[in-house]
Structure 1
Amino acid sequence: MRPLVRALSTWRRPLVQSSICLALLAVAGPPSLWAAEQDPAQSATANSAAADDEVALSKVTVTARRRAEDVQDVPTPITTLSGTTLESQKITKVQDLQQVLPSVNVAFIHARQSSVAVRGIGNNPASDGLEGSAGVYLDNVYLSRPGMAVFDLLDIEQLELLRGPQGTLFGKNTTAGVLNISTRAPTFDTERSVEVSGGEEGYFQGKGTISGALTDTLAGRISAYRTRDDGYIKNTYDGHKLNGGEREGVRGQLLFKPNDDFSLRWITDYNHEDSSQGTTVLYGAPATYWERAALVGASPHRDPDDHKVNLDSRQHVSVHQGGTSLEANWQLDGGYTFTSISGYRFWNFSPANDDTTDASAIINTGVEVHDRQFSQEFRLASPTGGFFDYVVGAYIFNSNLGNKNFSVLGPDADRFLLPTAVNGLGALNNVTSVTNGKVTTESYALFGQGTWHLTDRLDFTAGVRGTYEEKEAKVERFAPVGGAPVGGLGAYVRNLQAGAYDSGDLSLHNASPSGLLSLSYRFTPDLLGYASLSHGEKSGGVNLATASAPALGADSLLVGPERANDAELGFKSTWFNQRLQFNANLFWTGVHGYQATTLAQPAGSVLPVAVLANAGSVRSRGVEFEASARPIRGLTLNVNGSYNDVTYLSFKDAPCPGESTATSCDLTGQRVVGASKWIGNFNGEYSWNLSNGLQPYVTGSYSYRSAAEGTLDNSNLSKIDGYGLVNLSAGVRSDLGGGQVDASVWVRNLNNTDYYLAAFATMNGAYTASVGQPRTAGVSLRYDF
């Protein structure tokens, strides 16, 4: 607790002053907007009261504590986004969520190399044997791979972001936070919707939903979409555009509700992607890279902002994924609620990638993944309204993942990939190498959380969780295929880089406790203050690639658990008859054994390899705020932001940047990869009614992120600059034929800012980066009936 006390005392004055100033600015606003509140005569009339009801913000219900509650009554930092907000702001992809959420980083290259980080924790681009620090849930089912959430956000009811360790109520342990995505449930009233959109770069999306009663006790819902675009990265080798493709999906549901005491919801979905996603531009490279490129006659593009590549091989990604879940809720005698959630999901990922050049060095490389998971959760929630209420439960999780790491090398492999001393031996030319990895996970947990209502205003909450987890893994690299016969030093290099290797059976066993202590006090009916301490853990992982094992042994493929301690101090407030909400909080998180993956070059190796390691300890601290306001009828404003100081407190023996000749570096005291210090998001919508029944509207948003480290080695060549994005749309709604039509025009990234979602270390000390979407304009037509 001493580091926390020192941190809070050091930051107390500027943070409190900043929060007060933000609150006063948000509350005050332009005088004209709040004039109705300041006029006693008007507020006394019935007409004014009715107007206040129309202007008041809608109540937002969340299930963060596994029962339905007003978000303003839950003493923890939560940001919610309704499906309507996502649709109006044209947020259709997971990688765009960081434009509307505070303290969130989404590192995205393609479905496999993606990660969600909260408060700077969880920036791991890809490791098949490692779970994310931030958990992603779809309809209460945990998704073991971040890529399982890479599909179009279709028919979403609500999205909830919970920050800090979440283990005492959510199914799987997470150390950074939870992104909980809920889809719209079947309705007994008929709902139908169809929408088509078209735009630049060949963009087209069609989607539709139908919901309604099948019998008096059974309702169904089906939603489908298809999206395509040409892409926005030009391949000068053949003139084609890359980073585009096709995505399509369908979700079907049934809701059985024979009475008010029982409901059963069955959800099945399938999503498919066939694209050239994962095409990255050359972002930064040392002299060594350019020397090797010249040696093989390659001509890579030097300026990443040109959005151009020069690739002579195929870029392709194929993703097949889906699943099914069954959620049952029983209302038992005495006010108890019993919940059962069963979930099964599969994820198949197949890539084809070039080596960033037009030379025949690496013809095809990538990691193919097949993942299957099953989860079962049971929960019992007590009745509320008394001195004490609680939720207890049990959770079982099983996954079976296999991958295939392949490299098909060409005739220029030696000269491009190997040092001068050995690049004329023919060791890797025309060699194909394949490595298979597999890991099975068994996880069991018991959890519970209770709240004591000590007074009408003071609540004390305590939660505990015990998790036991086993992982069994194996990595096997097969003997290389192809290549001319070599001996001596050439044979040694070939065997080291592509020779047969078998790790044998690997295993990890973890018993992990989690806990929560929280106090909340209701100062007024519209002001809630809270403070909490929590602890969370996630289990260790396995590097499912040969990586450092031939040089350092099989144990180098294992990584230990990640543990987090967190403290929160915040408030939630409502002002002016529900017309303004303003929430803010301070946080301090210490992470021990932070799990990370990068490229490194072990002693004795001539090529960099993927290394999974515990990156010492990390501290994340800062302040977050969010506000929503409806100052006048028809105008809704939302703003959120965060200041986040994320630092390695200890990270010795860290990987060195590509421009360095050292073999080991110390990143202690430096910033954590991918964590922007400042994040701010604003969005708003204004609509009004015309006398002819038309309802025009305009929406706008601005998102800002400060600079961040691009890769784990904190290379100067991979730093990601800060940027701001502007999105606008305008449209009109009107009743038509028993329904409502909505026609709009929109533009994303109005200022055509060059920005990047993630950087990645590659061969010869170079770095590539994933390009954010450039300015794109389009039109949409929607009909609800």
Structure 2
Amino acid sequence: MSQSASLQSPFTPRPGRTRPGAPDYALVLLLALGGALPLQAAEQDDTTGATPEAATDKGNPQATALGKVTVTARRREEDSQKVPTPITVLDGATLENQRITKVQDLQQVLPSVNVAYIHARQSSIAVRGIGNNPASDGLEGSAGVYLDNVYLGRPGMAVFDLLDIEQLELLRGPQGTLFGKNTTAGVLNISTRAPTFTPERTVEVSGGQEGYFQGRGTVSGPLTDELAGRVSAYRTRSDGYITNIHDDNKLNGGERQGIRGQLLYKPGEDFSLRWISEYNEEDSSNGSMVVYGAAPRFWQRAALVGASPIADSDRHKVNIDSRQHVSVHQGGSSVEANWKLANDFTLTSISAYRFWNFTPANDEQLNVSAIRNTGVAVRDRQFSQEIRLASPTGGAFDYVVGAYAFNQNLGNKTFTDYGPFADSYLLGTNLNALNSTSSKANGKIETDSFALFSQGTWHLTDKLDFTAGLRGTYEEKDAKVKRYAPVGGAPVTGAGAVVRNGQLGAYDSGDLSVYSFAPSALLSLSYQFSDDLLGYASLSHGEKSGGVNLAVASAPSAGADSLLVGPERANDAELGLKSTLLERRLQLNANLFWTGIHGYQATTLYQPAGSTQLVQVLSNAGSVRSRGLELEATALPIRGLTLNFNGSYNDVTYLSFKDAPCPAEISTQPGAPASCDLTGKRVVGASKWIANLNGEYKWQLANRFEPYVNASYSYRSEAEGTLDDSDLSKIPGYGLANFSVGVRHDLGDGQLDASVWLKNAFDKDYYLAAFASINGSYTASVGQPRTLGASVRYDF
């Protein structure tokens, strides 16, 4: 349940059981590990991590009231309703009840969030319309993602099954003063369940249409009186839901699997050490996109080479003759230590290492060989260290101070293997310039980031608080881009040689460097009108450092400096209320926001002199304004029924963007201008209206049976599909409905949960991203169609 509304009932798991919400991978392995874990109950309780606390009358298990939700948004445990910032909290049970298992589905449950997803590399999370900038290896995202307090340097690092989640927090607006890397849009903070000193074991198996299967499992418990362990694992597979009529194979399916192991050492109340290691992999055909819209040139060139791409009337079919494939291997390890010092100070250290390897294979959307294979492979390594000190609370002033260091080493390899029809399709005439050639380029960037930060709260009166925060971040990036001379193809002279050299010729950028010092600041005033009503106002500033385009792109004609992009700066104002009403049966939060972005970083298009093809470049698109209203509500209207709603109105426009790429309707015409003015237009990917509603109703029958019904509906209005504001790429608004019914029953020493679920019940066509492609065409990533399935889960 959003905001963790809790309802006590006779079916609440007894000590020795986990509550609903844990996963699997190799069930035999997990059960074997479970047998190896001592299952005696320990007197010591795990107190790490933020967990929802039920706020019910313990003398009356049938009483209903909303529970208190503990968050760590300000790097200490607090009641979310007392934190003066817009924050949405989802517990693991809510994600499991609604079958939210992938990051790209989070926009169905979170306000003001857009997730652009093609595959793991081309993915991004935008908050309040800021951050729709996928596939830029030389840039961080505007919205930061943290997993167990560790910053994920690439958005694709979050593309795996959400496994054994304890809690998810969405903080909106700049969050640079307390989080490790500056973010201009917001933070998605994901916490997994920690090892427990009471035994927990869970096994879950699900199956559904299109060959869907998922197995998940968890084992947790004490190893000694001072050491607890936890192992969670999953394996997921599906056939896919896009048909390739060329060979009748299914695409956008495949396999994902992962495992996470943890140890928690807790010798007493004054010290704890949590070690987490995990590994995830994907072998799939994700990234398969359909032809969404196209200018006449695309259809003319396709006909010229004898290709027959699928028209846009059928959104679940393609006609391609080459391989679509994605391979992802990623993982990491982190150690978090917490010391309780004298006078109740808390010292925290978080050390982490992560890696991410991505290898694609992509076709050019045709059933003839113009481009056999193209893509960008990425290898990424990162190290981070954070140390912070939190003062005790309860006095007139409390604070958090700390230091942060981050190192990232990323390399990519851009490759294109052209087929025998490359010239005719790409150039419109056969010069033998590109036919049957291959081109490769390497990019490399190393980032070093160092920061000092502090945030303090003055309790001016019993009701009035003033908070101020400041962070200084120094960052440097050293990069290099090199393209090798093309290989293959027939010898050419004259015009063919000019085109081959201009588009595929060798190039070396030399050493490139970007340096920046980025301040972040926060001023906030909050007033507790009553125990159940908080009002707040805040001003904040955040910055995201500049970056480097790790593709040759414009460099040969415009110079190496054209690969550099400057920092992105955000100023934000918030005004909000948080309330708990009707004897804690209704929680209602609302806030107004205004954010101005200067130097908005975006991926634009550039046509080099003498070239017929557009290339992607990074640039500062000018200024952007994001303003709107957000509303969240959780209610317990009757016993057994919980309702959650969140919604947002968000007006996101370019205040200045004069050198934007032109849409295909213009750029493919003779005499087209080199750029267009998008000032006053909406920012790409930002829906003006977003609303998410979900509810659960459960009741009790004899013999300890508990039937339940879950329903959810998610709506978002239309959005611009690509940066150029093309009518051919607009993504229409859509609404998705999901349903599930099930029953829980005490069985043996555990609890059995069996359910039937229906995702996208009304089989709506919807799209997770659009992409500007070749010859004025636009492709789109199709959302999952209606899927019926069933799950069986056993907690014991």
TM bracket, shorter-chain basis: over 0.9
Correspondence for 1:374: 383
Equivalent position amino acid for 1:307 in 2: H
Secondary structure of the 2:648 match is: strand
Equivalents in 2 of 1:550, 1:657: separation in Å?
24
- Stretch deviating more after TM superposition (484-493 or 100-109): 484-493
Equivalent position amino acid for 1:653 in 2: D
Equivalent position amino acid for 1:347 in 2: W
Gaps of 5+ in 1: 1-46
Instruction: Indicate whether 1:205 and 2:214 are aligned.
Output: yes
Correspondence for 1:74: 83
Correspondence for 1:129: 138
Q: Can you list the C-alpha shifts for 1:77-120, whole angstroms capped at 9, x where unaligned?
A: 00010000000000000000000000000000000000000000
Equivalents in 1 of 2:60, 2:589: separation in Å?
25
Quote how far apart the aligned CAs of 1:365 are.
Answer: 0.2
Counterpart of 2:288 (choices 263, 268, 279) is 279
Counterpart of 1:92 (choices 95, 101, 116) is 101
Instruction: Indicate whether 1:166 and 2:172 are aligned.
Output: no
Equivalent position amino acid for 2:79 in 1: D
Equivalents in 1 of 2:684, 2:294: separation in Å?
18
Secondary structure of the 1:448 match is: strand
Q: Can you list the C-alpha shifts for 1:738-776, whole angstroms capped at 9, x where unaligned?
A: 100000000000000000000000110100000000000
Contact (CA 8 Å) 2:276, 2:334: kept in 1 or not?
Answer: yes
Secondary structure of the 1:136 match is: strand
Q: Can you list the C-alpha shifts for 1:383-429, whole angstroms capped at 9, x where unaligned?
A: 000000000000000000000000000000000011x3xx2210000
Instruction: Indicate whether 1:749 and 2:757 are aligned.
Output: no
Correspondence for 1:9: none
Instruction: Indicate whether 1:446 and 2:457 are aligned.
Output: no
Contact (CA 8 Å) 2:315, 2:765: kept in 1 or not?
Answer: no
Correspondence for 1:152: 161
CA-atom RMSD in angstroms: 1.1
Correspondence for 1:717: 728
Correspondence for 1:554: 560
Contact (CA 8 Å) 2:328, 2:357: kept in 1 or not?
Answer: yes
Secondary structure of the 2:729 match is: coil
TM-score, structure 2 normalization:
0.92
Instruction: Indicate whether 1:654 and 2:660 are aligned.
Output: yes
Equivalent position amino acid for 1:498 in 2: L
Correspondence for 1:315: 324
Q: Can you list the C-alpha shifts for 1:506-550, whole angstroms capped at 9, x where unaligned?
A: 000000000000000011110000000000001001100000111
Matches within 5 A, 1:558-637: 558-637=564-643
Instruction: Indicate whether 1:406 and 2:397 are aligned.
Output: no
Correspondence for 2:710: 699
Contact (CA 8 Å) 2:315, 2:782: kept in 1 or not?
Answer: no
Gaps of 5+ in 2: 1-55, 667-671
Correspondence for 2:396: 387
Matches within 5 A, 1:96-111: 96-111=105-120
Quote how far apart the aligned CAs of 1:691 are.
Answer: 1.4
Correspondence for 2:689: 678
Correspondence for 2:792: 781
Q: Can you list the C-alpha shifts for 1:39-82, whole angstroms capped at 9, x where unaligned?
A: xxxxxxxx999669721011110000000001000000000100
Contact (CA 8 Å) 1:130, 1:541: kept in 2 or not?
Answer: yes
Contact (CA 8 Å) 1:281, 1:304: kept in 2 or not?
Answer: no
Counterpart of 2:370 (choices 361, 369, 372) is 361
Q: Can you list the C-alpha shifts for 1:291-333, whole angstroms capped at 9, x where unaligned?
A: 0000000000012543100010000000000000000000000
Equivalent position amino acid for 1:270 in 2: Y
Equivalent position amino acid for 1:537 in 2: E
Equivalents in 2 of 1:383, 1:545: separation in Å?
49
Contact (CA 8 Å) 2:650, 2:688: kept in 1 or not?
Answer: yes
Counterpart of 1:490 (choices 474, 491, 496) is 496
Counterpart of 2:701 (choices 678, 687, 690) is 690
TM-score, structure 1 normalization:
0.93
Correspondence for 1:22: none
Equivalent position amino acid for 2:580 in 1: T
- Cα 1:490–1:619 change in 2 (3 A) is same
Correspondence for 2:744: 733
Contact (CA 8 Å) 1:272, 1:321: kept in 2 or not?
Answer: yes
Quote how far apart the aligned CAs of 1:704 are.
Answer: 0.1
Secondary structure of the 1:289 match is: helix
Secondary structure of the 2:66 match is: coil
Contact (CA 8 Å) 1:52, 1:577: kept in 2 or not?
Answer: no
Equivalent position amino acid for 1:698 in 2: V
Secondary structure of the 1:626 match is: strand
Secondary structure of the 1:292 match is: helix
Q: Can you list the C-alpha shifts for 1:104-154, whole angstroms capped at 9, x where unaligned?
A: 000000000000000000000211001000000000000010000000001
Equivalent position amino acid for 1:274 in 2: D
Contact (CA 8 Å) 1:305, 1:754: kept in 2 or not?
Answer: no
- Stretch deviating more after TM superposition (297-306 or 347-356): 297-306
Equivalents in 2 of 1:306, 1:644: separation in Å?
28
Matches within 5 A, 1:147-546: 147-303=156-312, 305-418=314-427, 420=428, 423-546=429-552
Equivalent position amino acid for 2:375 in 1: G
- Cα 1:246–1:724 change in 2 (3 A) is same
Contact (CA 8 Å) 2:292, 2:780: kept in 1 or not?
Answer: yes
Using the aligned pairs only, state the percent identity: 76
Matches within 5 A, 1:16-95: 54-95=63-104
Equivalents in 2 of 1:310, 1:49: separation in Å?
62
Secondary structure of the 1:364 match is: strand
Secondary structure of the 1:86 match is: helix
Contact (CA 8 Å) 2:604, 2:660: kept in 1 or not?
Answer: no
Equivalent position amino acid for 1:731 in 2: G
Equivalents in 2 of 1:748, 1:168: separation in Å?
39
Contact (CA 8 Å) 1:531, 1:568: kept in 2 or not?
Answer: yes
Equivalents in 2 of 1:541, 1:488: separation in Å?
37
Contact (CA 8 Å) 1:519, 1:532: kept in 2 or not?
Answer: yes
Equivalents in 1 of 2:62, 2:71: separation in Å?
22
Equivalents in 2 of 1:595, 1:386: separation in Å?
42
Q: Can you list the C-alpha shifts for 1:634-675, whole angstroms capped at 9, x where unaligned?
A: 111100000000000000110111111322100000000000
Equivalents in 2 of 1:393, 1:593: separation in Å?
28
Equivalent position amino acid for 2:296 in 1: A
Quote how far apart the aligned CAs of 1:380 are.
Answer: 0.1
Contact (CA 8 Å) 1:598, 1:761: kept in 2 or not?
Answer: no
Secondary structure of the 2:665 match is: coil
Instruction: Indicate whether 1:758 and 2:769 are aligned.
Output: yes
Equivalents in 1 of 2:297, 2:268: separation in Å?
71
Tell me which protein shows more helix as a share of its residues. 1
Equivalents in 2 of 1:175, 1:443: separation in Å?
16
Quote how far apart the aligned CAs of 1:602 are.
Answer: 3.1
